[in-house]
Chains A and B, each alone.
Chain A
Amino acid sequence: MTSSTECSRLRLSLGVYVLGAIEPAERAEVDAHLSVCRRCRDELASLAGLPAMLGRVTEEQLEQLAPPPAELLDSVLSKAANENRARRRRERALWIAAAAALIVIVGVGIRAMVGSGGGTVAERSPRPPRPPATTTAPVRTVSAKDPATGVRARIDLQPKLWGTAFNVRVSGAPQGSHCHLVATDKKGRKDIAGGWEVQYMGGSASFAGASMIHENDLASVEVLTTEGRRLVLVKL
């Protein structure tokens, strides 16, 4: 037999019972009560899984829940601020490079008009070099040698989502030439593909470029001096 006051008193002991903190004499009393009280057995069952969950947490974790010392946050924030500053500097440098390229090209255009007049470099638009793309795609290699200038170019073309990446190796150009790369698409549109200020110092020189023209729209790629003189034309 079990009275309701005994039931409520012993039910409160179910906490320390499942936690294993109950005194042995009381444990025997609770055990005896459980054998005759279904409601307390149900209550015990609903609490019985909790100590296992407590076992998955260490006391140390409870202390570690609070955010770590502010110094660590300060350090993260100052690194983030440094990265922001560096990024803004890079962006500024790109604008300056683009402006410089524009000046070079305007100069080339004027010289081309004043000079031989046979230039084919009228429609170029300045564009800063693009960062190297991360995706890899099959590379196609084309090469040619200009019989007149004796300049040889070997160009690796890599299709990209935004156009084409170039890796160019030039040999046989006059020492000190400032070379750049111009890509032409099938409709005759030209696109400066970068490398406009590479100084050729003999032997074999290589530089990277990039164009918005997609690889399958490319008609030719040529290496020009910044004076607009064609060193070699590679047809595709």
Chain B
Amino acid sequence: MGPTANEGLLRALYAEHGGPLLGYVLRLTEGDRHQAEDVVQETLLRAWRHPEALDGRPIRPWLFTVAKNLVLDAHRARRSRPPETGEAGLAAVPATDEIGRALESWTFAEALADLSPEHRAVLIETYYRGRSVAEAAATLGVPPGTVKSRSYYALRALKLALEERGLAP
């Protein structure tokens, strides 16, 4: 089946994968948002043109792989000559398991997003912003004891969310 006016597929892909895909590509383009959005558009259009390519396989790895190749193609096209063996250009090519690690990291992010806002907030304060119990308590406006118990239950909830995704720590 060729491409059809299948807006639904594009909308669904965008809702489910648009955020992580753009986030992933933004890293590959070193923050060049304009290029990243072009790559995301082209990646989604390719999925839409070839829905048979998505049959029976996980969609996100396919999207990440296509997007990475588009970024690499653009990178090579900008260079006057294609990279030769041993040249520094090869360093710009991500390792083969780079996509796997990126996919895993987005799965962790989604597990975190599944937590209640209170649980997520306490982990952001203590882990990502490096705040102590007293500092986090002041920022969040809760007693220190609440920071402690919330941190504990947040980690237990995170562990469950990861296990549900087949990613036991």
Evaluate contact between B152 and A15: CB separation under 8 angstroms. Answer: yes
Assess whether A29 is interfacial by the CB under 8 Å rule.
no
- Given known A-B contacts A65-B110, A76-B45, A84-B5, A53 and B148 have beta carbons under 8 A apart: no
> From DSSP, what is the main secondary structure of chain A's interface residues?
helix
B120 surroundings in chain A (CB, below 8 A): 62
Contact with B along A35-75 (1 / 0, CB 8 A): 00000000000110111111011111110111110001101
The minimal Cβ–Cβ distance linking B123 to chain A, given in whole angstroms, is 7
Assess whether A93 is interfacial by the CB under 8 Å rule.
no
Evaluate contact between A76 and B44: CB separation under 8 angstroms. Answer: yes
Stretch in B10-18, B65-73, B82-90 with 4+ CB within 8 Å of A: B10-18
Evaluate contact between B169 and A53: CB separation under 8 angstroms. Answer: yes
Assess whether A28 is interfacial by the CB under 8 Å rule.
no
The minimal Cβ–Cβ distance linking B143 to chain A, given in whole angstroms, is 13
B3 surroundings in chain A (CB, below 8 A): 80, 83-84, 87
B63 surroundings in chain A (CB, below 8 A): none
A interface list, Cβ under 8 A from B: 11-16, 18-23, 26, 46-47, 49-54, 56-62, 64-68, 72-73, 75-77, 79-81, 83-84, 87
Q: Pull 11 A–B residue pairs with CB atoms less than 8 Å apart, ordered by A.
A: A11-B152, A15-B153, A20-B127, A20-B130, A54-B108, A56-B101, A57-B109, A65-B19, A68-B40, A77-B10, A77-B11
